[in-house]
Amino acid sequence: MADQDGKKIKDPLTGVETTGHVWDDNIREFDNPLPRWWLWAFYMSVIFTLWYWVVYPAWPSGLLEKGYTLGTKTITYDSDAGETKTTHWNTRALLAHQMQTNKSELIRQKMVKEIAETPFDTIAADPQQSKFVLAYGKSIFGDYCAACHQRGGQGVIGHYPNLIDDAWLWGSDVSDIETSIRKGRKGNMPAHKGSLTADEIEQAAHYVLSLSKQSSDVVAIEKGKAIFNTKGCSGCHMPTAMGMKALGSANLTDHIWTQADVNGTDDAGKKLAAVKQVITEGIQREMPAWESRLKDDEIKILVSYIKLLSQN
């Protein structure tokens, strides 16, 4: 401690006391006190902590019934059974309380209940209700449905159906859409690589394309038509090739394609290849059942949302 003279002299310029350390003969260190505002803030936070410990549940203790101090605040909420309960402050009771009293939550609940009790046609005709359905449905759709059917409901060719075109595999009525959502759907077209030869698949594909006037190979179309009607295609797609709602089989006569990307190319060869691919490999796809996951009023809003989307 040779460099310490122990003298806490005051700095002549600022008047601040030094620590008594001296380096290199004349360098000294200020001993500034903590800023007064900082010190007071520190004391106040200590006092706040003591208050908080008392008011909110904080201290664990084996001597108490709950195993910790309960604080002084209470929350009142209604149980699902309709009983009014009061309990010590906790976040779970707070959530229940807010879901029952919060102003915007109550408006939300009122609107949702209103939609649930209104037939779709009335909703579609009412600007306020349809505006609510479009806004609220968008968030439910975005969370649960958009993962497959995409944000705008346009689907993914080959995987997930488009919900905003005019074609419905499983029916377009409100009740059909509701059933699709509640119970889910299993789309199943068998693979035909075992039951048809490569030539037969090609001919059937020509016929299928000819239904929407996209093939002109008369010979192949004629043979394909026979295959379509005798080798099982017409069993699901019907002799008219218009599809069947009960099986979710597609209408092959319109210009809407959800599996084979026929519209995505102008090249006749590629169109043919896309249809052949579907006939060869078949289709296995599944829409999950949402009944146990979504609430009834949410399903109602979703159905109305999808109907409004497809009508707009």
Partner 1 sequence: MLKHESIETNAVLLIVLTLVAISIGGLVEIVPLFYIEGTIEDVKRADGKDAVRPYTPLEQVGRDIYIREGCYNCHSQMIRPFRDEALRYGHYSLAAESQYDHPFQWGSKRTGPDLARVGGKYSSSWHVKHLNKPKSVVPESIMPNYPWLLKTDLDFSDVQAKMKTLKKVGVPYSQTKEEYAANVEQFGEDVAKMLDVNHAESNLMAQEKAKNFDGIPDRITEMDALVAYLQVLGTMIDFSKHDETEFIEFR
How far is Cα of residue 210 from the mean position of the Cα atoms in its chain? 39
Least spacing, CB of residue 186 vs partner 1, in Å: 10
How far is Cα of residue 174 from the mean position of the Cα atoms in its chain? 22
Least spacing, CB of residue 66 vs partner 1, in Å: 7
Among 99, 174, 247, 256, binds partner 1 (CB under 8 A): 99
Only segment of 44-52, 63-71, 125-133, 270-278 that touches partner 1 (CB under 8 A): 63-71
Question: What whole-number distance in Å separates Cα of residue 202 and Cα of residue 184?
Answer: 33
How buried is 234 (Cβ within 10 angstroms: 0-12 exposed, 13-18 middle, 19+ buried)?
A: middle
Least spacing, CB of residue 211 vs partner 1, in Å: 29
What residues contact 11, with CB distance under 8 A and at least 6 apart? 17, 18, 28, 30
Question: What whole-number distance in Å separates Cα of residue 111 and Cα of residue 126?
Answer: 13
113 touching partner 1, by CB under 8 A: no
Q: Residue 21 carries which side chain, given as an amino acid letter?
A: H
Among 24, 25, 80, 266, binds partner 1 (CB under 8 A): 80
179 touching partner 1, by CB under 8 A: no
Among 116, 124, 138, 144, binds partner 1 (CB under 8 A): 144
Question: What whole-number distance in Å separates Cα of residue 258 and Cα of residue 105?
Answer: 39
Q: Which is nearer to partner 1, 94 or 124 (CB)?
A: 94
Q: Which is nearer to partner 1, 56 or 253 (CB)?
A: 56
Q: How many CB atoms lie within 10 A of CB 249?
A: 22
| Main-chain phi, psi angles of 128, to 5 degrees | -70, -45
CA–CA distance from 243 to each of 48, 188, 238, 251, 301 (Å)? 72, 13, 6, 4, 28
Least spacing, CB of residue 123 vs partner 1, in Å: 21
Question: What number of CA atoms fall less than 13 Å from residue 141's CA on the CB side?
Answer: 24
147 touching partner 1, by CB under 8 A: yes
CB 76 within 8 A of CB 84: yes
Total residues interacting with partner 1, rule: CB under 8 A: 41
Among 116, 124, 134, 146, binds partner 1 (CB under 8 A): 146
150 touching partner 1, by CB under 8 A: yes
Q: Residue 252 carries which side chain, given as an amino acid letter?
A: L
Only segment of 38-46, 90-98, 170-178, 254-262 that touches partner 1 (CB under 8 A): 90-98
Among 6, 35, 62, 269, binds partner 1 (CB under 8 A): 62
83 touching partner 1, by CB under 8 A: yes
CB 166 within 8 A of CB 256: yes
53: closest CA among 77, 39, 70?
70
84 touching partner 1, by CB under 8 A: no
- Dmax (CA) of the chain: 114
67 touching partner 1, by CB under 8 A: yes
Least spacing, CB of residue 128 vs partner 1, in Å: 21
164 touching partner 1, by CB under 8 A: no
Taking CB under 8 A as the rule, which mask of x and - marks residues 267-296 in contact with partner 1?
A: -----------------xxxxx---xx---
Residues in contact with partner 1 by CB under 8 A are 60, 62, 66-68, 77, 79-81, 83, 85, 87, 90-96, 98-99, 102, 105, 139, 143-144, 146-148, 150-151, 156, 159-160, 284-288, 292-293
